[in-house]
């Protein structure tokens, strides 16, 4: 496991994607103290105060995974973050907001973004970007429902120590995935709003629907109040604000 510390980059994922990933050792972590243009899901900006949080990308070579099973890697990362956060949050259980954001008591503490390169039908490499709020206490007004470890616990943390612990959690889940262990049941245990009727916007339509599971490709499965069964990609559905 190698950690490369960067003072400031536009985005750690962009930094990694400019590398010859075939020459990068498996499980190499690129950690930036500052990201000037961090990237979140759906192309959104990821807001992180310089020197306060863990913003990094991990290069993996999950050649054992076929391209159509990329979501299994997302599941492993999400569960590793749950493993990492649980000891800090006492009675507040971390949960996964589909597909891969981590929330605690209705507030977002972490986001991930995975991009892959293929070789034939298999995944040759994956860049796994993670933004985890640690010591940041104040967030811009436009950031929806943020939190951090410092806000939750009232403590200040050493980022380098936490990064090593988190990488250990990721490696454990990654090895479970590599060994063929099915992580989906645990992922569903921590999935926000599973089995609960919620208001959504589905392709422009206001609906009430209940999450029933995830398909093998990572699509969200829901049943509407009028009995329709939906299989949704990330850009097709959103929570009604």
Predicted local confidence at residue 192, as pLDDT: 96
- The per-residue pLDDT for range 176-211, each reduced to its tens digit, is 999 999 999 999 999 999 999 999 999 999 999 999
pLDDT at residue 101 greater than cutoff 70? yes
- Burial tier of 141 (Cβ tally within 10 Å: 0-12, 13-18, 19+): exposed
- The per-residue pLDDT for range 145-158, each reduced to its tens digit, is 999 999 999 999 99
Nearby residues of 127 by Cβ (< 8 Å), 6 or more positions away: 13, 16, 17, 21, 57, 58, 59, 114, 115, 116
Predicted local confidence at residue 124, as pLDDT: 97
Predicted local confidence at residue 171, as pLDDT: 98
**pTM, full prediction:** 0.93
Predicted local confidence at residue 35, as pLDDT: 87
């Amino acid at each position: 496991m190698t950690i490369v510390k960067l003072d400031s980059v536009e985005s750690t994922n962009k930094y990694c994607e400019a590398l010859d990933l075939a020459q990068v050792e498996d499980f190499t972590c690129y950690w930036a103290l500052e990201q000037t243009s961090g990237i979140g899901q759906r192309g959104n900006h990821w807001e992180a105060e310089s020197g306060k949080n863990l913003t990094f990308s991990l290069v993996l070579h999950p050649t054992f995974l076929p391209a159509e099973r990329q979501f299994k890697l997302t599941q492993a990362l999400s569960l590793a973050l749950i493993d990492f956060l649980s000891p800090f949050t006492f009675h507040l259980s971390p949960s996964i907001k589909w597909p891969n954001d981590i929330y605690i008591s209705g507030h977002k503490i972490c986001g991930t973004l995975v991009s892959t390169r293929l070789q034939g039908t298999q995944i040759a490499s994956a860049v796994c970007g993670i933004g985890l709020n640690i010591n940041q206490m104040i967030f811009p007004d436009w950031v929806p429902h943020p939190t951090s470890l410092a806000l939750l616990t009232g403590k200040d943390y050493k980022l380098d120590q936490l990064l090593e612990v988190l990488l250990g959690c990721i490696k454990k889940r990654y090895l479970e995935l590599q060994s063929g262990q099915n992580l989906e049941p645990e992922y569903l245990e921590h999935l926000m709003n599973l089995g609960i009727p919620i208001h959504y916007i589905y392709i422009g339509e206001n609906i009430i629907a209940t999450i029933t599971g995830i398909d093998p490709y990572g699509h969200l499965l829901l049943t509407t109040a009028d009995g329709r069964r939906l299989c949704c990609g990330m850009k097709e559905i959103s929570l009604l604000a």
